[in-house]
Amino acid sequence: MDFTVTYEPTPDEVARALEQGVRQQLRTTYLILPLVLVASGLICILVDATYTGTLMLVLAVVFPFVLNWSIRRTGKRQLTYLCVPTTIRLTDDGYEARSDHFTSATQWSLFGRIVTGPEFWLFFVNKQFTGFLSRRAFNGEQQAEFDAFLASRQSARVT
């Protein structure tokens, strides 16, 4: 595998990728914290601490919305850095990304997990979301080749 593409991510695309990546990273928090708040809220209500219980129930409902808003707000600060024409080169060893604002090269072995989705490839190091590549940047043949490459790396890691 060795191909080079140039593309410019859109602000909406960056926001969606960040949201998906951080949501994957914080999957446990997204599930457990609201459940803990609901359980604690119900217990508080049962022991006549109604105000505290009601507050916990409201927080359980509001928490996912606040977290998504926070992720989008953080992403908006990085748009001028990320939404620029970028040249990406994928090889068997890793990938390089270059723009007027940055240059980076990363070996595939650095990533503990790469999530393949319908819109993005999401990259994780030590369970932390570190970046993404948009499928839109690549033609169908390149997407298939990269998916096959990732699948072969995954099967090699399992055996």
pLDDT tens digit sequence for 74-125: 777 777 777 889 999 999 999 999 998 889 899 999 998 899 999 999 999 9
Adjacent-strand bridge partners of 115: 122
Adjacent-strand bridge partners of 128: 125
Q: Is the pLDDT of residue 151 over 80?
A: yes
> What pLDDT, on the 0 to 100 scale, is given for residue 102?
87
**Mean of the pLDDT values across residues 33-44?**
90
pTM: 0.74
CA distance 117 to 127: 17
Q: Is the pLDDT of residue 31 over 60?
A: yes
Which residue ranges form the domains of the chain, and what is each CATH number?
A: 2-8+84-158 (2.30.29), 21-77 (no CATH)
CA distance 149 to 98: 22
CB 76, CB 15: distance < 8 Å: yes
> What pLDDT, on the 0 to 100 scale, is given for residue 74?
75
